[in-house]
Structure 1
Amino acid sequence: MILILGGTTEGRVAAQTLEEAGKPFYYSTKGDEQEVTLHNGIRLQGAMDTITLERCCLHHGIRLLIDAAHPFAQQLHETVAQVARRTDIPVIRFERIYPERDQEHITWCQGYDDAIRRIKDENIFTLLALTGVQSIGSLKPLWQGDKACCCCHFRILDRESSRQLAREQGFSEQHLYYYHAGEDERLLMQQLHPEAILIKESGTSGGFVQKVKAARELGIRIFALCRPETPEGFLTVDGPHGLRRMVEKLLPDFYPLHSGLTTGTCATAAAVAATWDLFNVQFQSRPTEFPVILPDGETILVPVQPSPALPKSDFFNDDWMMEANASVIKHSGDDPDITDGMEIKVNVAVPFRMDEPSPSPEVLQEDYTVIVCGGEGVGMITMPGLGIPLGEAAINATPRRMIEDNVKRCLRKLHIPRVANPFVVTISVPGGEEIAQRTFNPRLGIEGGISIIGTSGIIKPFSSEAFINSIRKSMEVARATGSPRIVISSGAKSEKYIKAYYPDLPAQAFVHYGNFIGETIKLAAELGLPRLTLGVMIGKAVKLAEGNLDTHSKKVTMNKAFILDLARQAGCPDQTAAAIESMNLARELWDLIPSDHLESFCKILIECCHRHCAPLLPDGELTILLITENGEIYV
């Protein structure tokens, strides 16, 4: 079992992430004020000291602790650390995402005593503390007694327990203000006109950025309490993807299916590793994993293949081009992905010598220049509609931006001068050209290899993200041809018959939906396609007619009772019903339905399909074609 120590936004996200497994877990909060939806989770309430938490873990068979409590809940973090040491239970710290510390505009304080000293030294007279009700007692030297140095205002949560705690600490309600979700941070500051505010380094989910922005706009001094250090031994993640991957690693049996990484994330990790190698060859021991910031802002660690140290003569080429290589073996988890196990290689090169003197500050660039391009095994765009210029490598916008941003971040961390020389990142996929022949790429006009894709950076098992992404790209290419009609079908067999029905449409106007009929029609609506034809064979049609918009055999099976009802509506005799009862495959219907009732049966079947599909294309015209095994078409 897993125990989440929550009560925060991170706790809620952690619960949602574990819910995906469909297995029970425990969610613990000190009080009952947080609302969190639990289907498989079991709620625990009440404060726990070391003894209570240890007993809880032993009683419930806890194998993993997830500390998702507030970053400033130091006592709880230490309690978790002590229990973990005594029980050998691993701890995942679900941390917040923190912006880089602004040393220019913020005075950083190491705890309350340091903050009190700095505020006194600066002779601050009016202070607005946005640090919560628990901090009132810690800041007493600023507001209580004869030695009080400033007029303090505190903003707290608008609930009775917070008001009661403020009263217990002897603070006047006259100087209490209440937090209201979504309120503009400037309003209270404009009302009170404080000389300074005191905030906690509470991360992006704690409103830190908004508070800083509001204070700076109003010219108010900012004092910030640095977040406490994470206890030694905690495994830190800062988002749902990283949390799930860490749980999969520590408790492989918790999730029935494991997640994977997109080609974009693999390329990004290899690019970061090659950048690191570029400036650390022979100097430091190389990590086995490198950090990648995903599009949602969270950071995950990605294993990178070992790279043998290069002798200096090989490190610089004849043109004094510094370059380094790194590679990642793509792991798609339990998602059926044709690129699983492939090597994603990256070369990072820059015309820059390590023995050259550092440029003077006046010639430094505002930012690094990173150029991302494709090498062997990465396809090239030859048709419009994919959002990438013709002739460029098939590297989608999201992974391209990921690579650029992560390489720049690595360069900043390594303190590399921002010179004019571009860093050229070349992605290669050995065997990519051969693999691409088994994908949608040739149909999309992507020649010579695979695409570097991924919108989230993570592949959820059987989430169909990669397949639906391919459908989207196919639809965009189809739209770009200007075809008067787009035709969607399940695969090559049905498409062959529909192409004969629409001989004048361009090849790119025909798109495969696999099993994702509903998702494909929704994409057509999203792209504003005016006329759409859905070609469907009988096996999928009988599922779709019942309202199953995803017809995968793992999701839905043929419902004989439903088919019997359709047959009766079509006026089929009793012997037909008996034959339907004993059939194994839907395509047998073509032989079982009497010829004089077949047209009526097909008409009813198509009407049922249309009833479920048409609402997904509210502004377009939907035509449904029912295709027989020998290519006849019913409309």
Structure 2
Amino acid sequence: MVLIFGGTTEGRLAATVLEEAGKTFYYSTRGDEQEVTLHHGIRLCGSMNAGQIEDFCRSKDIRLLIDAAHPFATLLHTTIHHVSQCMQIPVIRYERIYPDYDAQTLFANDYDDAARLISTSNYHRILALTGVQTIGKLRPLWQGKCECYFRILRRPSSQAIAQKEGFPEDYLCYYDLDHEEDAGQVSGLLDKLHPDLVLTKESGISGGFEQKSAATASRGIPLLVIRRPPLPDDFITVNGPHGLRRETESLLPGFFDLRTGITTGTCATAGACAALRALLCGGYNRPDVPVLLPNGESVRIAIKSIRPANTEGQGYTATVTKDGGDDADVTHGHDICTTVVPYPLSDNDELFLIEGGKGVGRVSLPGLGLAVGQAAINNGPRQMIIHNLHEILRRHSTTHNAVGYRISISVPDGEKLAAQTFNPRIGVVGGISIIGTSGIVRPFSTDAFIVSIRKALEVAKATGSERVVINSGARSERFLRNRYPDLPLQAFVHHGNFIGDTLKMAAELKLERITLGLMLGKAVKLAEGHLNTHSKQVVMNKTFLTQVAQEAGCSSLATEVIEQTTLARELWSNLPACDIQPFCNRILHYCHRHCDPLLPNGQLTILLIDKQGNITEDINTYSLQ
């Protein structure tokens, strides 16, 4: 069982991640004002001391604590750490993402330090964006020489705290918790009050820090930032949903039924980061490396090995083993090697030159968004690599006016693995593709499969094929190729179980002539209206099939056969011969009923294929009642 301490944006995101498991967890907040949607989570409201948290953890068999509270909730962080130490329960800290700071930004270590700095300066009118809980902590300022304004949330509990502290109502500025409006509200306050200094906390991106910083900088108003307090060293820190899920999977095996993984693009990026760090520092001996994902969060990726790239010591090669989680990915467990070598940089050269080495395929057909002849390294991984390497150079304050970096990605088993993928069909030859949009592989990733279908459809369109034939896999395609012997290989696209999504994408791409080839097992599911025919989504419905047989005028024996049938494909051999054609006609017309609207401006042909490869035509003369 898991206990989240929330009340923040990060708390809400943590709950969203845990909801994916479909299992009970607890979500604790001090008050009841935060709105959070929970289906499997149980809401707890009210403060708990260390003893109460320990008692709760024992009674509910809590095995993992997630601290997603505000960065400045120091007492709660300390309490959680105490409970963790006493009960030997690990803690994941869901930290905020913090932006880079302007060189002009001022910092204070804590509230006392901030009060001291302001009191010894020439600042007189102060706008504090630090929240109602800090009014008491900054009492020396507003009871001293400074004219202080505090911006607080417009809610009764906040007003009550301000009144209890004795802070004058006329110096309170109210706001609503809406970050889109927050930037405008801050700007309006600055223009109204004209403060000499703005005081805020190191609240991270989700706390609106960037908007506050931009608003003050544009008006030339100094910004004093109170640094966030340090966290216990043994907290496991993540700063995004992917990292939280991966750490939860590791610390609490079985909470999620399926593990997430990392893409080949993330593997290559991690290798590039480790290799560049080694190049800049004369070696890299850590077991993992931080990688920035496209959503801005940082995850740590294990490094299998790192070695000099050549005998001259120019560059390094880092190897990362692909972890696909529980996704059915042929690259799982295989090595992705990335080499970074410096080279002299001329005026027209790119700072980072990304190339494909052994085992990385090359594009041989148009339609993939990459030039023909180019290494099959998709734009997402390219941008991810470049962004991460830029960050490393920036943090090392490295000048690179005359030095560029050649990044070569190789996959030792890539050519062999490619034969088990869609690559040969879509025109990627000689190896696998380096792919990944989010950087993370979702278990049995629907999204990844649908992306691959779209790519295949785009290639089919780019080849100018007069017809695109969509089918579930190699077996049905073999029969359909005999039906359309003149069509190029790229005209045959596997839809897997995602018939509806494939037809919608075909319509978006304005493909005019589509043939859908179906085995009976998928056809009976589609006929009932299930556009995703995966066995985990839907099973054969005998009641529906009995209705189809009756509507088709089949014999009474057909109904008995359906009742005794376990797998739909058995109907080919079990139905009376006189019933097969009318039954199939009715199935096909139901399929048209659900599929034709998805391709409104195209011509859809649906073919039913039996296990011997015999094809039943779609007959459009049979009208549905």
Both proteins in one fold, TM over 0.5: yes
Structure 2 Cα separation of the partners of residues 613 and 70 of structure 1: 50
Structure 2 Cα separation of the partners of residues 616 and 15 of structure 1: 36
Inter-CA distance 345–46: structure 2 relative to 1 (3 Å threshold): same
Q: Which moved more, 1:219-228 or 1:295-304?
A: 219-228
User: Equivalences for 1:80-479 in 2 at 5 Å?
Assistant: 80-102=80-102, 104-144=103-143, 147-150=144-147, 152-180=148-176, 181=178, 182-183=180-181, 184-185=183-184, 186-281=187-282, 286-307=285-306, 317=312, 322-351=314-343, 369-479=351-461
Structure 1 Cα separation of the partners of residues 32 and 346 of structure 2: 55
Inter-CA distance 484–153: structure 2 relative to 1 (3 Å threshold): farther
Inter-CA distance 77–618: structure 2 relative to 1 (3 Å threshold): farther
1:455 deviation in Å?
Answer: 0.8
Inter-CA distance 192–316: structure 2 relative to 1 (3 Å threshold): farther
Structure 2 Cα separation of the partners of residues 88 and 257 of structure 1: 26
Contact kept? 2:458, 2:509, Cα under 8 Å: yes
1:453 deviation in Å?
Answer: 0.4
Partner of 2:496: 514
Structure 1 Cα separation of the partners of residues 223 and 509 of structure 2: 46
Write out per-residue CA displacement over residues 593-629 of structure 1, whole angstroms, 9 at most, x where no aligned residue: 4555544433332232233334444565544333334
Establish whether residue 610 from structure 1 lines up as the match of residue 606 from structure 2: no
Structure 1 Cα separation of the partners of residues 170 and 242 of structure 2: 44
Letter in 2 for 1:236: T
Inter-CA distance 73–522: structure 2 relative to 1 (3 Å threshold): farther
Contact kept? 1:369, 1:420, Cα under 8 Å: no
Contact kept? 1:532, 1:621, Cα under 8 Å: yes
SS at match of 2:75: helix
Contact kept? 2:415, 2:431, Cα under 8 Å: yes
1:465 deviation in Å?
Answer: 3.3
Structure 2 Cα separation of the partners of residues 107 and 621 of structure 1: 66
Inter-CA distance 540–128: structure 2 relative to 1 (3 Å threshold): same
Contact kept? 2:557, 2:576, Cα under 8 Å: no
1:95 deviation in Å?
Answer: 0.4
Write out per-residue CA displacement over residues 184-242 of structure 1, whole angstroms, 9 at most, x where no aligned residue: 43233333333332222111111111221222223332221211111221000011111
Inter-CA distance 484–160: structure 2 relative to 1 (3 Å threshold): farther
Gaps of 5+ in 2: 619-625
Structure 1 Cα separation of the partners of residues 600 and 217 of structure 2: 47
Letter in 1 for 2:337: K
SS at match of 2:188: helix
Contact kept? 1:261, 1:332, Cα under 8 Å: yes
Partner of 2:34: 34
1:484 deviation in Å?
Answer: 4.3
SS at match of 2:403: coil
Inter-CA distance 619–450: structure 2 relative to 1 (3 Å threshold): same
Structure 2 Cα separation of the partners of residues 587 and 88 of structure 1: 54
Structure 2 Cα separation of the partners of residues 236 and 618 of structure 1: 50
1:557 deviation in Å?
Answer: 1.9
Contact kept? 1:459, 1:465, Cα under 8 Å: no
Contact kept? 1:381, 1:390, Cα under 8 Å: yes
Contact kept? 1:371, 1:404, Cα under 8 Å: no
Contact kept? 1:132, 1:155, Cα under 8 Å: yes
1:452 deviation in Å?
Answer: 0.3
Letter in 2 for 1:340: H
Q: Which moved more, 1:167-176 or 1:422-431?
A: 167-176
Contact kept? 2:359, 2:432, Cα under 8 Å: yes
Q: Which moved more, 1:332-341 or 1:217-226?
A: 217-226
SS at match of 2:402: coil
Letter in 2 for 1:95: E
Partner of 1:356: none
Write out per-residue CA displacement over residues 46-98 of structure 1, whole angstroms, 9 at most, x where no aligned residue: 10122222222222211111000011111111111111111111110000111
Letter in 2 for 1:451: S
Structure 2 Cα separation of the partners of residues 210 and 622 of structure 1: 52
Write out per-residue CA displacement over residues 404-425 of structure 1, whole angstroms, 9 at most, x where no aligned residue: 1112222333333223211111
Inter-CA distance 222–611: structure 2 relative to 1 (3 Å threshold): farther
Partner of 2:24: 24
Regions of 4+ moved over 6 Å: none
SS at match of 1:523: helix
SS at match of 1:244: helix
Report how many aligned residue pairs link the two structures: 612
User: Equivalences for 1:586-597 in 2 at 5 Å?
Assistant: 586-594=568-576, 597=579
Q: Which moved more, 1:620-629 or 1:341-350?
A: 620-629
Contact kept? 1:364, 1:418, Cα under 8 Å: no
SS at match of 2:392: helix
1:482 deviation in Å?
Answer: 3.2
1:296 deviation in Å?
Answer: 0.7
Structure 2 Cα separation of the partners of residues 270 and 608 of structure 1: 51
Q: Which moved more, 1:567-576 or 1:525-534?
A: 525-534
Gaps of 5+ in 1: 353-362
Q: Which moved more, 1:86-95 or 1:501-510?
A: 501-510
Contact kept? 1:368, 1:420, Cα under 8 Å: no
SS at match of 2:174: strand
1:501 deviation in Å?
Answer: 4.4
SS at match of 1:232: coil
TM-score by length of structure 1 reads 0.91
Contact kept? 1:572, 1:593, Cα under 8 Å: no
Write out per-residue CA displacement over residues 351-395 of structure 1, whole angstroms, 9 at most, x where no aligned residue: 37xxxxxxxxxx999x98111110000001111111111111100
1:267 deviation in Å?
Answer: 0.9
SS at match of 1:553: coil
Inter-CA distance 191–602: structure 2 relative to 1 (3 Å threshold): farther
Establish whether residue 76 from structure 1 lines up as the match of residue 76 from structure 2: yes
Inter-CA distance 43–433: structure 2 relative to 1 (3 Å threshold): same
TM-score by length of structure 2 reads 0.92
SS at match of 1:422: strand
Write out per-residue CA displacement over residues 423-476 of structure 1, whole angstroms, 9 at most, x where no aligned residue: 111001001011101111111111110000011111111233332222121122
Contact kept? 2:269, 2:385, Cα under 8 Å: yes
Inter-CA distance 121–621: structure 2 relative to 1 (3 Å threshold): farther
Q: Which moved more, 1:570-579 or 1:209-218?
A: 209-218
Q: Which moved more, 1:593-602 or 1:409-418?
A: 593-602
User: Equivalences for 1:514-593 in 2 at 5 Å?
Assistant: 514-593=496-575
